[in-house]
Structure 1
Amino acid sequence: MAIETKPFDSAEYLRDPESRAEFLRDALETGDAAFITHAKDMIARAAAAQSDLDGSVIAQVLEAGLLARYGRHDPEGLSWARRAIREELLRRGWTLAPYTYPDDD
């Protein structure tokens, strides 16, 4: 019987600003330009994947639907859908706590 594996994605473990900052700090300390670039890419992906509505009932329902549609097999589609929803809510005048405030562009 074959063992099923999936590629390791460090972005899945960078869920909060503190862990992303620590990851970048560690990457910068190595001085390795390729690793620093990789770390910045992972941090950007992790930050983009986070919802501004985290913890709300709305966010839970949206996330459940997105995961049902895209799951883990299409991370680009999942990320795109999250961004599209955020942009639509902002166009409709929603204030998305905790990251978006009325004076944000």
Structure 2
Amino acid sequence: MAGVITYTGAKIIQNARLLVEKIGRPLELDTDGIWCALPGSFPKNFTFKTKDSKRKLTISYPCVMLNVDVARTNTNDQYQTLKDPVNRTYATHSEAQLSLKWTALTRP
């Protein structure tokens, strides 16, 4: 299992680097995060307006972008949960428990 985990982590880092290189410059990539320089025009945060005009939801656009990529390439679509131990029946669903941290330095 250690080999599979190490390989998966390495592929996630490689894919994140490729994605970041399309829009900016990766500065440091390791197992728990990414530092990169992005153009000043690249959206750092995106704010959603909600039906309640007093509330807003702000997300880190680069972080969400990378985590969508990680989920797309690393989701287990055959994850099973034991539902009935007596009859040994399982429910199958998709699950992804990986996410990346992201710090972006923007260039003017």
* TM-score using structure 1 length: 0.27
Highest RCO, 1 vs 2 (Cα 8 Å, sep ≥ 6): 2
> Which has the larger Rg?
2
Query: Of Structure 1 and Structure 2, which has the larger fraction of its residues in helix?
Result: 1
Structure having the higher strand fraction is: 2
